[in-house]
Amino acid sequence: MRQTHLFTKTRREAPADEVSKNAQLLIRAGYVHKEMAGAYDYLPLGMRVIEKIKGVIREEMNAIGGQELSLTALQDPEIWKATDRWDDEKVDVWFKTKLKNDTELGLGCTHEEPMARMMRDHVNSYRDLPKYTYQFQTKFRNELRAKSGIMRGREFMMKDMYSFNRTEEELDAFYEKAIQAYKNVYDRAGIGDKTFVTFASGGMFSQFSHEFQTVCDAGEDIIYIDDSQNIAVNEEVMKDDILEGLGVKRETLREAKSIEVGNIFKYGTRYTKELGVTFKDEDGIDKPAVFGAYGIGIGRLMGTIVELLSDDKGIVWPASVAPYGIHLLSLVANDEVVVAYADSLYEELTAVGVEVLYDDRDARAGEKLADSDLIGIPTRILVGKDTISSGLVEVVDRATGEVKKVTRTELLSHMGSVST
């Protein structure tokens, strides 16, 4: 992508009403546009990051047997009434709407009920199980507060996976696989060292759950971490019997603010009993399927990465989710030789499969460098007058600031091998 063709532009200042760091940086760098509190548009750069995050998650979900599908956002009240979750007193984040004929519908805040009803048509025998399905889908939650940028939205993209098993033991085994898959996601997203499996309340979903909490000063949660076991407990369930069950001691825990970046639940036969998701076992006896759910908010994860991996100059994307691998800057816009060199380098890098954002704008070098810091692509390549005289291009690591000078041949050889 040539930057002259990119319709978004950087901004020196964020909107005055935007208080969260993630939204300030993402708006300034041209990744998102704010429609209203809790609702953000993803611009071309932002969409590339979202798709990269989805790609990482998709690989990990597929690796544990997940199959991707897509469910509707419009929800039938009857299945939610069957599980006692349609009443606003029970679930207080519903957005509800009506058809022209006055029939009431919901906008999906989660998808346990519709996924279970769908599975009812595809499961008859124990031979049909286990099944693991997931989707990337827009959710709607009527949040009272929406002040944390893209980390707490009223409309947001979620990955939600659902597991249907024959026995509790089979669910337990898959649950452990899901925990490891989630750890892999956060490692690959660059925040694994600050993310802890956390014992928590199940909220509107179940009595207890496990969250994945990332330590961050911008977080809205308080967790207590046991560093020796690499686990944590959410403040809301800090009870002596729970600590004893987890094998941790209150006096050894350290307190930290954190952001919830994922959650997983064991439901047992909750939802499947109410909605009739049954199978015949080896003896021909009808049994309800054993159910689990596993969620990751895509925007929330993106916002958390920005909160943690940024500096006073801008965003510092990890390579795994960066919108482009290379930011190529032509530093002398009015020098035909420099421009021609940068143009041809852009074409060659693109030809060997490297994803490049090429700053070919007629702008000062200082402006280009500042914008590059703000946008945060991991590797920056600088082409200037010195490049023509020395035959060397500068390669700058955005995270460390380390500068290397390499020949064009070395650069293309290295980048070609990385891209393949």
Beta carbons within 8 Å of 244's beta carbon, 6+ residues apart: none
Residue 43 lies in a domain: yes
Residue 300 shares a structural domain with residue 187: yes
Residue 8, in any domain of the structure: no
Residue finishing a domain among 277, 311, 345: 311
Q: Which two tokens stand for residue 125?
A: 């025998």
Sign of CA dihedral 216, 217, 221, 226: positive
Q: Which residue do the tokens 């603010």 mark?
A: 257
Instruction: Examine the domain organization and report whether 179 and 286 are in the same domain.
Output: yes
State residue 203's pLDDT score.
Answer: 62
- Domain range enclosing 334: 326-419
**Taking phi first (over 0 means left), then psi (-120 to 50 degrees means alpha), and beta for anything else, what does residue 290 get?**
beta
Q: Is residue 16 part of a domain?
A: no
What's the pLDDT at 418?
62
Q: Give which of 231, 226, 163 is closest to 200, Cα–Cα.
A: 231
In this structure, the answer to whether residues 244 and 216 fall within a common structural domain is yes
CB 296 within 8 A of CB 60: no
Chain centroid offset of residue 212 CA: 12
Q: Would you say 355 and 385 are in contact if contact means Cβ atoms under 8 Å apart?
A: no
Query: In this structure, what DSSP letter does residue 289 have?
Result: P
Domain-embedded: residue 356: yes
Comparing CA positions, the residue from 220, 245, 223, 241 lying closest to residue 232 is: 223
The strand ranges marked E within 281-344 are: 286-288, 290-297, 310-311, 314-315, 326-330
**Are residues 141 and 56 located together in one domain of the fold?**
yes
Check if the beta carbon of residue 230 is closer than 8 Å to that of residue 196. yes
Phi-psi region at 140: left, alpha or beta (left = phi > 0; alpha = psi -120 to 50):
beta
Q: pLDDT (tens digit, 0 to 9) for every residue of the chain, 420 residues total?
A: 999 999 889 998 888 888 899 999 999 999 999 998 889 999 999 999 999 999 999 999 999 999 999 999 999 999 999 999 999 999 999 999 999 999 999 999 999 999 999 999 999 999 999 999 999 999 999 987 766 788 888 999 999 999 999 999 999 999 999 999 999 999 999 999 999 999 998 665 556 789 999 999 989 899 999 999 999 999 999 999 889 988 999 999 999 999 999 999 999 999 999 999 999 999 999 999 999 999 999 999 999 999 999 999 999 999 999 999 999 999 998 899 999 999 999 999 999 999 999 999 999 999 999 999 999 999 999 999 999 999 999 999 999 999 999 999 999 988 866 654
- CATH number for the domain that contains residue 380: 3.40.50.800
Q: Please check whether residue 363 lies inside any domain of the structure.
A: yes
| Number of domains making up the chain | 2
The number of CA neighbours under 13 Å toward the Cβ of 102 is: 0
pTM score: 0.94
Q: What is the pLDDT of residue 365?
A: 95
Question: What is the sign of the dihedral through the CA atoms of 63, 65, 70 and 75?
Answer: negative
Residue 257 half-sphere exposure toward CB, CA atoms < 13 A: 8
- 194 lies in the same domain as 287: yes
Rounded CA-CA distance 63/132 in Å is 11
CA torsion through residues 205, 208, 212, 217, sign: positive
Residue 211 in domain: yes
Same domain as 228, residue 364 = no
Q: Round the CA-based radius of gyration of the chain to a whole number and report it.
A: 24
230-236-239 Cα angle (round to 5): 75
Which residues on neighbouring strands pair with residue 231, listed in sequence order? 197, 226
DSSP-assigned beta bridge partners for residue 232: 198, 225
Task: Identify the pLDDT of residue 223.
Answer: 97
Residues 110 and 229 in one domain: yes
**CA-closest candidate to residue 191, choices 252, 260, 136:** 260
Q: Both 148 and 231 in a single domain? A: yes
User: Does 79 map to a domain?
Assistant: yes
**End position of a domain, from candidates 254, 280, 311:** 311
Q: Are residues 226 and 269 in the same domain?
A: yes
Domain boundary among 279, 311, 343: 311
Q: Is residue 410 part of a domain?
A: yes
Using left for φ > 0, alpha for ψ between -120 and 50, and beta otherwise, residue 186 falls in: alpha
Residues 187 and 140 in one domain: yes
DSSP state of 167: S
C-alpha 207/C-alpha 221 separation (Å) is: 18
Q: How many CA atoms lie within 13 A of 410 on its CB side?
A: 10
Same domain (yes/no): 212, 340: no
Same domain, yes or no, for 293 and 230? yes
CA atoms of 161 and 134, how far apart (whole Å): 4
pLDDT given for residue 168 in this prediction: 96
Query: CA quadruple 364, 388, 338, 408: dihedral positive or negative?
Result: negative
DSSP, res 271: T
